[in-house]
DNA sequence: CTAGGTGCAAATAATTTGCAGAGGC
DNA sequence: GCCTCTGCAAATTATTTGCACCTAG
């Protein structure tokens, strides 16, 4: 995992000079978890160095924002707060007006809808700010939230893994069922192979999830950070549903392709947008895995469609539609 | 349609005194369309009365916010802007950093996802702020946007009508197809009756849409304000799709019930949340219409399920599931 | 030695407040 | 007459800037 020192070295702008003051401010800032106002940070700094000027803190904050180390956030309080990007993915905020705390979440579904809105208006979106104001659970019930805070990137990784696991699990179920129901011997082999691959991926993911849990024992007590309906709950579940209504091997393959494509997109989206830390590695790896599934499915689909086309060409001939679809699938596959 | 005077009378707080200064400020403010800063408003006011103090403008803005006449919005500029609620539904913002203009949209799908996130965190949401920052079409292409601005509530009404029309249209298609495919004579009558009702509603809605268009000739040149996939594109289209794969009358009714329930919820959501103007009336009327469809479908479903249950009870007996579902539907229906 | 970096104090910018007088009910 | 509203000027708050000095490269 990348250290704060390596992270800073990577982001430090060209032509700047080192300075012990700035280093102190940056280090104190990166040690914090929450959303600090400039004043908060001045107070923290003053605990270690009485003489640092407010102006220097402001200037250093601006420097960090320019370098991409910090993000300036506006909770409508009439002043800005700052959060660091180190091991801290992009996110939205829930802001409690009672205790003035904020918690974070990310929703892939919302992000997708935002993109659609921007596209419909021909608007080149660069950044989205989403804040839900209200009262948090702790303030309404009096219960205190769990003690030790978990870094956001860990929550992100946890949820990404959960989504991946759920996806692979329903994928496994889907292919296992397909293997059971198909009458065609080759089809059975294909689906069984796919089911085995899913089984293996599933094992890898579950081990990784357990490892993450071992590192952060309280991890599971924290609420969902990353919301996403697109993969497991949406696509694969619908696919399994369609399957249970009885489809042929070709349709089953097509459903599989649709599902794998959806989850590949999900992992790619978040892998690419990750600025730092473990997250990017995990996600791009998942994206690759999904891509491999997709390729396999497309190859199989192509072969199956070809065989069918040949067979039906001998008998009657109304399979043109299926052949065209196979052609479209080929175009989207690898060369 | 409610006048500004009636609107103010309704919202004016108890125990306050009239004042010609405040009246002037409020009236000038309500005449504006965009998002004004306090300074903008001072400049506008000074054109009509040189002596009005900046402090009074600030105090009046606060008074309007408290009364619900104005909303304070923060575009991250370091100062607040204000927009009035008169004929101006809740919305989100697209903010162009180049020309500093903002345009508005609303997405029922995003709002639904926000509610889910808040519920998952046990967070009592009171208000959501969503801003997409970037560059607008006009700034990128140099083309100027259409001249005469259309009030937001009119755009809202237009899109609501479009959604309603699309919903009714696919509902009509759905029922017409169901009437055509069912073998059962009673089922044919039921679906034909439903199709006729949809036809009539469709006519009403289309006339209303035309009337709105007559009032605002440039209306159709404005981009979508209200985004919603839940009704026409989502539910009914999926329903029609299911139907085309061949379902029996009972299933068709169940699909209809699901669709009508979805669109009823949509209209109720926006009808209830409307603060003012035409919008609320239109939406609640739509909600009622959808509710009537829903009731009719539930009655028919109940009757059909009853008949089936009686019939199958005579022959074999594995219909318990269907009867239980009919019972659940009854609970949700009117007494 | 020289371009940044820093501290201090003053400037700015948006908004609020204390207070004395004006005005509606 | 009382209580609210208004104008003016001063205060407050968050942030930036001018300037003289300091320090790393």
A18-60 per-position pLDDT tens digit: 888 999 999 999 999 889 999 999 999 999 988 899 999 999 9
For the cut 60, the answer to whether the pLDDT of residue B275 exceeds it is no
Output the six-digit token pair for B16: 């306050």
More confident residue, B63 or A252: B63
| pLDDT confidence band for A147 (50 / 70 / 90) | low
Local confidence band at B35 (pLDDT 50, 70, 90 cut-offs):
very high
Q: Which residues touch B137 (CB under 8 Å, ≥6 apart)?
A: A121, A122, A123, B143, B145
Contacts of A130 in chain B (CB under 8 A): 114, 128-131
Number of alpha carbons in the 13 Å side-chain half-sphere of residue A177: 22
What pLDDT does B320 receive? 39
Contact (CB, 8 A) for A70 and A50: no
Q: Residue B170: which H helix or E strand, with range?
A: helix B152-181
Q: How far apart are CA B106 and CA A120, in angstroms?
A: 13
pLDDT at B260: 82
Q: Per the CB < 8 Å rule, is B94 touching A123?
A: yes
Phi and psi, residue A72, nearest 5°: -90, 120
The distance (Å) linking the CA of A56 with the C1' of C11 is: 17
Band of pLDDT at residue A322, cut at 50, 70 and 90? very low
Interface of B with A (CB under 8 A): 74, 76, 94, 96-97, 103, 105, 107, 109-110, 113-114, 116-118, 120-137, 140-141, 223-224, 227, 245
Domains and CATH numbers, chain B: 17-86 (1.10.10.10), 87-145 (3.30.1490.190), 152-317 (1.20.1260.10)
Residues in chain B: 335
Q: What is the pLDDT of residue A121?
A: 95
| Predicted model pTM | 0.84
Q: Number of A:B CB contacts under 8 A?
A: 129
Contact between A117 and B128 using a beta-carbon 8 Å cutoff = no
Predicted confidence band at A185 (pLDDT cuts at 50, 70, 90)? confident
Q: How high does pLDDT run on average in chain B?
A: 83
Residue B61 and residue B265: Cα distance in Å, rounded?
35
Using an 8 Å CB-CB cutoff, list chain A residues near B110.
110, 113-114
Average pLDDT over residues B280-287: 80
Q: Chain B partners of A109 at a C-beta cutoff of 8 Å?
A: 113
């Amino acid at each position: 995992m990348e250290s704060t020192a390596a992270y800073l070295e990577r982001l430090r702008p060209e032509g700047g000079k080192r300075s012990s003051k700035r280093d102190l401010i940056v280090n104190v800032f990166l040690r914090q978890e929450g959303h600090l106002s400039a004043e908060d940070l001045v107070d923290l700094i003053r605990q270690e160095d009485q003489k640092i000027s407010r102006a220097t803190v402001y200037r250093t904050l601006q420097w960090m924002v320019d370098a991409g180390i910090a993000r300036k956030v506006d909770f409508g309080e009439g002043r800005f707060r700052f959060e660091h990007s180190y091991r801290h993915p992009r996110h939205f905020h829930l802001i409690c007006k009672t205790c003035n705390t904020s918690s974070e979440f990310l929703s892939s579904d919302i992000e997708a809808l935002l993109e659609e809105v921007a596209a419909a208006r021909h608007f080149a979106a660069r950044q989205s700010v989403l804040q839900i104001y209200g009262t948090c659970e702790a303030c309404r019930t009096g219960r205190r939230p769990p003690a030790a805070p978990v870094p956001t990137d860990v929550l992100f990784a946890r949820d990404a893994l959960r989504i991946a696991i759920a996806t692979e699990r329903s994928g496994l179920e889907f292919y296992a069922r397909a293997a059971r129901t198909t009458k065609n011997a080759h089809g059975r082999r294909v689906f069984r192979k796919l089911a085995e691959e899913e089984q293996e991926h599933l094992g890898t993911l579950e081990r990784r999830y357990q490892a993450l849990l071992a590192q952060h024992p309280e991890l599971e007590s924290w609420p969902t950070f990353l919301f996403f309906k697109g993969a497991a709950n949406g696509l694969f579940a619908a696919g399994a549903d369609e399957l249970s209504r009885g489809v042929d091997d070709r349709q089953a393959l097509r459903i599989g392709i649709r599902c794998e494509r959806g989850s590949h997109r999900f992992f790619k989206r978040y892998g690419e947008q990750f600025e730092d830390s473990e997250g990017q590695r995990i996600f791009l790896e998942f994206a690759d895995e999904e891509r491999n599934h997709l390729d396999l499915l497309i190859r199989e689909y192509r072969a199956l469609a070809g065989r069918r086309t040949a067979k039906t060409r001998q008998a009657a001939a109304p399979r043109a539609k299926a052949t065209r679809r196979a052609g479209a699938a080929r175009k989207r596959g690898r060369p």
